[in-house]
Structures are given as structure tokens and as C-alpha cells.
């Protein structure tokens, strides 16, 4: 199955380790799955096999799962 890679609204592909801003908070992408391919940061291997989407961890330690990146998720820097 060829799934479309997840991308920010600016076109960059989403990758584990990316620094992002989500709804005003700075965060790091810790898991990303396009349905076929998965990337995760160390300590987030348990999410392997999860549904398509992006998990981020904000700088205060809170996590959020985003099914599809939208204008609320801004790419800041490649980690």
C-alpha cells in the first residue's frame, strides 16, 4: 500500500525529532506514521503500529496526537 507521506502545510515532510509549534506551544515530534512507514524517537517505540498521524511532546512534557497536520502545526527546525 502506498500511503501519502505526512507533511506540514508548507510542504516539508514530517519526521521524528522535528521541532514544531502547535497551537502556540513549542514541541518535538516523537512519532509519525503515514500508515506504511513509521518513525519514532527513543522511548516512543510502544507507539509502533499506531494509526496514521503525528504524536508531539511539548516542552512541558504533555503529548498530543494529530491525525493530519494542519495550520495549527508549524515546522520550526529539523532535529
Provide the whole-model pTM.
0.90
Full pLDDT tens readout for the chain, 79 residues: 446 889 999 999 999 999 999 999 999 999 999 988 999 999 998 888 888 999 999 999 999 999 999 999 999 999 7
Alpha-carbon span 5 to 43, nearest angstrom: 23
- Tens of pLDDT, residues 33-46: 998 899 999 999 88
Distance CA 35, CA 28 (A): 20
Amino acid at each position: 500500500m502506498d500511503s501519502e507521506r505526512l507533511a506540514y502545510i508548507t510542504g516539508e515532510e514530517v519526521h521524528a525529532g522535528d521541532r514544531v509549534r502547535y497551537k502556540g506551544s513549542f514541541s518535538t515530534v516523537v512519532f509519525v506514521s503515514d500508515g506504511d512507514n513509521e518513525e519514532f524517537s527513543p522511548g516512543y517505540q510502544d507507539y509502533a503500529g499506531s494509526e496514521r498521524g503525528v504524536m508531539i511532546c511539548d516542552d512541558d512534557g504533555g503529548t498530543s496526537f494529530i491525525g493530519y497536520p494542519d495550520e495549527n502545526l508549524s515546522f520550526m527546525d529539523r532535529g
